[in-house]
Amino acid sequence: MAKTSLPITILRTVITTLCVVYLSTALAWGETPGEVGNDMRINADSMDHNQVSDVITAKGNVVLQWHGATLTCDNATYDRSKRILMATGHVVIIKGKDTIKGESVTIDLESARGELSGANIFVKQNNVHITSDKITRTADNDYSASHGSYTTCDAQIPSWKFGASDLDVTIDGYGTAKNIVFYIKDIPVLYLPYLVFPAKRERQSGFLFPRFGWSATKGFETDLYYYWAISPSQEATIDLDIQSKRGVGTGLDYHYLRRKGSAGNLGGYLIYDQITDTMRGLVSQTHQEIISPEMNLRTSINWTSDRLFLNDYGTKSGEYNRQSNDSTVNFLKTWQNYALTANLRYTQDYYASSNNSTLQTLPEIGLAAVRQQIFSTPVYFDLDSIASNFYRESGTRGQRFYGFPRLTLVTGIPGYLSMSAYAGTHLRAYNTDNNSSGSPVNMRDGILLPEAGLRLSTSFSKVYEIGGAQLMKLRHEMMPEISYTYIPQRDQSRFPFYDYKDLIIHQNVLYYSLTSFLGGKFRSGETTEYRDLMRVKLSQGYSIGGNRQDLLTVVDAQRPWSDVILESDTWVHPHARLTFDARYNVYGNYLSSAAPGVQFDDNRGTTADVSYHMEHNEVEYLEGHLATKIFKPWAFGYSTRFSFDRQNFLESVYSAEYTHQCWSISVSIRDRRVTNPGLSPSFNFSLTGAFGSGSPPSALAGK
């Protein structure tokens, strides 16, 4: 059934496009009834006006201009009383970027009905070319055409085209077509004797071109897609996924729009896996409900049937290497200075042996106050507070309240020194069901932890006159900053650990940083532009108490200095940027972490980036991406990640696309060597302006 319906639906869409686009365009330069007066301008080598019949006859290089359209021809007559225009000989109608050519055209300007003979039409949008022996508009929405063809190819002999001997259409109604043929070059490859189809101006339901692929784990794979235009605000794509080794799956991608900009989508995939002999699938959903400009509700549901589903079928959702999956519900209400939030979060941990001990947040309610001035003083107040209910089947669970009210004094010497000092208190209260040992024990406890801090900063800048052909000036700015944070040492071992709000690290630390900015003023033709050239930031902390304690490096007794942190961005060229982020352990004389990288983009289709990532004694890998269109009409892409820990490539993806003026073909090969190893090639083919393979982007996305 799908094999028969596929070409029918494609042809129906193409023919509908043909009649709606070019028939409407062909007569659009005229008027609809009652819109226009006799304001046509006619120029010709010779003209004659019969006063009795009120007919204007023009001959030789005739030019008619009317309502933004220009018609040129050899001869034309215009009956002003009956408002009928007739043009013959090399007829050319131009309106905007669209062009209509023909042997003759007759238009009744009162009813907008008419006839175009020997039509050759070009519609700039989508590069559409249409030919027909004769096109007739017999009523407001009724059209007929004979011996017509449709293509988006420019060649004299197009790479592909659709043709039909007879076509009768009622716009926003139904149409019939006879002797429909699909040609590759001049060779007919598909024939349908008769077709009845809806001729709607809106989105059309129907089958899309299938996607084909092969992999070692799935075998030969074919995806058959059906697009369903449910309503102006709803659409869905249904996927039948046939895999020779694993079975037949089905997928859904549903999108909808609601009032006030609310929108959402629902997706899913289900398959009876012949290898595991189980039913497997996923459900994904997102929704944003705009209740008012100050209030909204967002949901994001992500659920899989088993812990290995994304590893086997992640290409369906584009994600196959996740450590966990979160489903969330978020509510937000804002006022001028306050925000109320409510959240639910359910997590599937794919790295744990069981999800029984995975912590769930059901629910969490927070109130925040943005920084606001107290009367006319230089003192500001802000607040973070949140109440959470933590649940898991196995392990510690209970409720926690966290609040952090803070006062900040903002002062300084304008133009020379900026200073801010703050003081606040971390408040935590617990009601804990401590069942980690198997015997529930209710525990209520709390703690107050004060925090205070100070920040001093200034800046120095200088402009250097360069006077070069391109670089005119350099501006260098230095921003030194000193900050201090104090949190007293308190024993917190009796409290449960849900997240890092439960372990507030003791700090008596002085931080320093120095940031350098370098920018330039460049000549660009007749204008000038400012560009960033380099940003470098160096920072480090010193623990006054003698111990170095932070969350990102190991705690070392009697070693007060933290790692030295260096961050930089360098624009070596308008199209190239170097990035660097590193931490250096001053006691062990080694790099705690490093992440250098280089990025390139020529803004003409070639991009490249390479980055190295290292965490001392943790992970080390190299990642690279390359894409280029310089070998037109070919486009190539390559991305890979190499793990130095495993001495192997984690994944490599190779892609190539050949783009003709009116069609394209692409092939990609995914090589996953660690998880689900094997080559997974895929193939896509599309005809520009007609159909493409695979699921299309949502037509509602831009609405």
| Cα 21 from Cα 28, distance rounded (Å) | 10
Q: What is the CATH number of the domain that holds 15?
A: 2.60.450.10
Residue 229 within a domain: no
Tokens read off for 419? 């200073």
**pLDDT (tens digit, 9 = 90+) per residue, 232-255?**
899 999 999 999 999 999 999 999
- Counting Cβ atoms within 10 Å, is residue 221 exposed (0-12), middle (13-18) or buried (19+)? buried
Domain total in the chain? 2
| Cα 151 from Cα 145, distance rounded (Å) | 16
pTM of the predicted protein model: 0.70
| Cα 635 from Cα 627, distance rounded (Å) | 7
| CB 280 within 8 Å of CB 296 | no
**Pick from 395, 299, 296: nearest CA to 340:** 296
Contacts of 557 (CB under 8 A, 6+ apart): 547
Tokens read off for 341? 């939030």
Beta strand pairing status for 206-215 and 678-687? antiparallel
Residue 493 within a domain: yes
Residue 432 within a domain: no
Q: Rounded to the nearest 5°, which phi and psi values hold at 186? A: -105, 15
| CB 241 within 8 Å of CB 223 | yes
Q: Is the peptide bond before 696 cis (omega within 30 degrees of 0)?
A: no
Contacts of 275 (CB under 8 A, 6+ apart): 245, 246
Which run of H or of E encompasses 678? strand 678-687
Q: For every residue of 124-154, which 3-state class applies, written as one string?
A: CHHHEEEEEEEEEECCCCEEEEEEEEEECCC
Tokens read off for 536? 């470098």
Contacts of 450 (CB under 8 A, 6+ apart): 423, 424, 425, 426, 487, 488
Domain closes at, from 578, 610, 630: 578
Residue 291 within a domain: no
| Cα 325 from Cα 310, distance rounded (Å) | 10
| Cα 246 from Cα 248, distance rounded (Å) | 7
DSSP-assigned beta bridge partners for residue 452: 423, 486
Q: How many CB atoms lie within 10 A of CB 641?
A: 18
Q: Which residues of the chain have pLDDT under 50?
A: 1-37, 437-439, 551-555, 692-703
Buried b (16+ CB within 10 A) or exposed e, 375-386: eeeeebbbbbeb
The CA distances from residue 568 to 483, 511, 598, in Å, are 21, 19, 12
DSSP-assigned beta bridge partners for residue 348: 325
Contacts of 95 (CB under 8 A, 6+ apart): 25, 28, 29, 68, 69, 70
Which run of H or of E encompasses 442? strand 442-457
**Local structure of 314: helix, strand or coil:** helix
| Cα 484 from Cα 510, distance rounded (Å) | 4
Contacts of 495 (CB under 8 A, 6+ apart): 428, 430, 432, 445, 447, 502
Domain closes at, from 182, 201, 220: 201
Residue by residue, DSSP assigns 80-131 as: TTTTEEEEEEEEEEEETTEEEEEEEEEEETTTTEEEEEEEEEEETGGGEEEE
| Cα 582 from Cα 592, distance rounded (Å) | 8
pLDDT number for residue 449: 94
Buried b (16+ CB within 10 A) or exposed e, 448-463: ebebbbbbebbeeeee
**What is the residue type of 21?**
V
| Cα 79 from Cα 117, distance rounded (Å) | 20
Tokens 């209970």 belong to residue: 398
| Cα 612 from Cα 370, distance rounded (Å) | 38
Tokens read off for 494? 């009796």
Residue 537 within a domain: yes
**Pick from 408, 447, 413: nearest CA to 430:** 447
What is the signed CA dihedral for 83, 84, 89, 92, rounded to 10 degrees? Answer: 60
pLDDT number for residue 244: 92
**What is the residue type of 40?**
M
The CA distances from residue 242 to 212, 318, 602, in Å, are 10, 18, 41
| Cα 577 from Cα 514, distance rounded (Å) | 21
| CB 160 within 8 Å of CB 182 | yes
DSSP-assigned beta bridge partners for residue 469: none
Residue 185 within a domain: yes
| Cα 38 from Cα 26, distance rounded (Å) | 20
Alpha-carbon Rg of the chain, whole angstroms? Answer: 35
| CB 251 within 8 Å of CB 239 | yes
Residue by residue, DSSP assigns 449-492 as: EEEEEEEEE--EEEEEE---SSEEEEEEEEEEEEEEEEE-----
Residue 393 within a domain: no
pLDDT number for residue 310: 84
Domain closes at, from 558, 578, 598: 578
Residue-range definition of the domain harbouring residue 535: 459-578
Contacts of 510 (CB under 8 A, 6+ apart): 482, 483, 484, 541, 542, 544
Tokens 């997590």 belong to residue: 347
